[in-house]
Structure 1
Amino acid sequence: MYISFFNDFAREAIGTGIVLILLVLLRVITTKLVRRYARLSQTIERRTNLVIKYLHLLINILLIVALIIIWGVDAKDIIIAVSSIATVVGVAMVAQWSILSNITSGIILFFSYPFKIGDTIHIHDKDFPVIAEIEDISAFYISMVNKDGERIIYPNNLLLQKGVSIINTDLEPTDFTD
């Protein structure tokens, strides 16, 4: 029974084995590269783990597509499945655009590293200007504390849309207010 299966699907089985080996190698390599980058830029471990998780998810999706191709799933069936998934994801994206844009912004902030925890920043927002010290940077938002001790949670996607000044930490934020 097993010999018959292997004879019938030898190419697919070997291809699957190669894809699984590639999965392990890509995950190890991306993890090491992101950790090295994080160490050089002195990024927090929690942010590093979050980016690694996103990259692993992307690798897993690509390798699932590779397995589908290797096992010869009919293109017509793939198109039907992808269009169904795209419809569901499209509706979810409209409903959850803010969450997805915050995650994307969090990844951009991780790699561009414009500011770090402990920096005092000024967000140039006409309606709600903010001058505060960064306490935490997560996937969805930045947590800050202003001079009055008020905690401010600012979404990552809005942070990338606004002008931000990094204020010299030797100076008091009140030196820059009107």
Structure 2
Amino acid sequence: MDNFIKDYQTELTTTLIVLVVFLILRFLAVMTIRKIARISDINQVRAVLVGRYITFGLFFILVVAMIFIWGVDFKELGLILSSIFAVLGVALFATWSILSNITSGIILFFYFPFKIGDRIRILDKDFPEEAIIINIQAFNVNLKKDNGELLTYPNNLLLQKGVVLIQKQVATGEDLESSF
């Protein structure tokens, strides 16, 4: 054990520093997201979801940093990564819509000017009616039409179409949930 510590003292120290930086960055990111959610009156569930996405991204950066710190042989790593990315490429190409909706969900978290309870109209020829936003999730937005129908609208289409705010905060979230 003493030989291991002596032989890899630089790598162990650097790993410890990178782990501490990762934990600090994760803490700061999560606290910032919570603060943005509180200031912008955004649902806490959405804040937790975006926090998980940011944590996953930071973890990916951590893994890459560990690979460089420990000096993994790039020829072996390249073969493994190319095999993994080939499989993932096929799988992700088949599910590009899901990834697009997740990315749109993150964008909507930080930029979407409408909140749960607002009455909106999406400028779409297939959906010319007004609706109330019931919930904003990772993949879609749940809307309630005037006739009581529940509509699930994908996040990526919500970013692509124009959205008109008809009325702010028509009802509270509890009023909307109790109507089902």
Normalised to the residue count of structure 2, the TM-score between the two structures is: 0.90
The 5 Å alignment of 1:62-81 reads 62-81=61-80
| Structure 2: distance between partners of 1:49 and 1:94 | 27
Q: How much does 1:163 deviate?
A: 1.3
Contact 2:119 2:169 in 1 (8 A): no
Q: How far apart, CA to CA, are the structure 1 residues paired with 2:132 and 2:106?
A: 21
Deviations 1:18-64 (A, max 9, x none): 11111211111101111111111111000000000000000000001
Aligned to 2:13: 14
CA contact (8 A) 2:118 2:169 kept: no
For the residue of structure 1 that corresponds to 2:10, the secondary structure is helix
Aligned length: 170
The verdict on how the C-alpha distance between 1:65 and 1:169 changes in structure 2, with shifts beyond 3 A counting, is closer
Mapped to 2, the partners of 1:168 and 1:46 lie a distance apart of 23
> Deviation string for 1:103-144 (max 9, x for gaps)?
000000000022100111101111332410001000011111
Listed as ranges, the gaps of 5+ residues in structure 2 are: 171-180
Aligned match of 2:166: 167
| Partner in structure 1 of residue 145 of structure 2 | 146
Identity among equivalent positions (%) equals 48
Partner of 1:96: 95
Question: What residue in structure 2 maps to residue 134 of structure 1?
Answer: 133
List gaps (5 residues or longer) in structure 1: 172-178
Is the alpha carbon distance of 1:167 and 1:5 closer, same or farther for their aligned partners in structure 2, counting shifts above 3 Å?
Answer: same
Q: Distance in 2 between matches of 1:170 and 1:4?
A: 65
SS of 1:121's equivalent in the other structure is: strand
Q: Secondary structure at the match of 1:127?
A: coil
Amino acid of the residue matched to residue 37 of structure 2?
A: A
Partner of 2:51: 52
Aligned 8 A contact 2:123 2:162 in 1: yes
Equivalent position amino acid for 1:111 in 2? F
Whole-angstrom CA distance in 2 between matches of 1:47 and 1:170: 18
Deviation at 1:66, TM superposition (A): 0.3
Q: Which residue of 2 aligns with 1:82?
A: 81
In the TM superposition, 1:98-137 aligns within 5 A as 98-137=97-136
Map of 1:24 onto structure 2: 23
Q: Which amino acid aligns with 2:15?
A: T
CA shift at 1:169, angstroms?
4.7
Post-superposition offset of 1:157: 0.9
1:168 CA drift (Å): 2.7
Q: In the alignment, which residue of structure 2 is the partner of 1:176?
A: none
- Partner Cα distance (2:88, 2:112) in 1: 30
CA distance in 2, matches of 1:159, 1:132: 13
Deviation at 1:170, TM superposition (A): 9.3
Name the CA shift for 1:130/1:96 in 2 (closer, same or farther; >3 Å).
farther
RMSD between aligned residues: 1.5
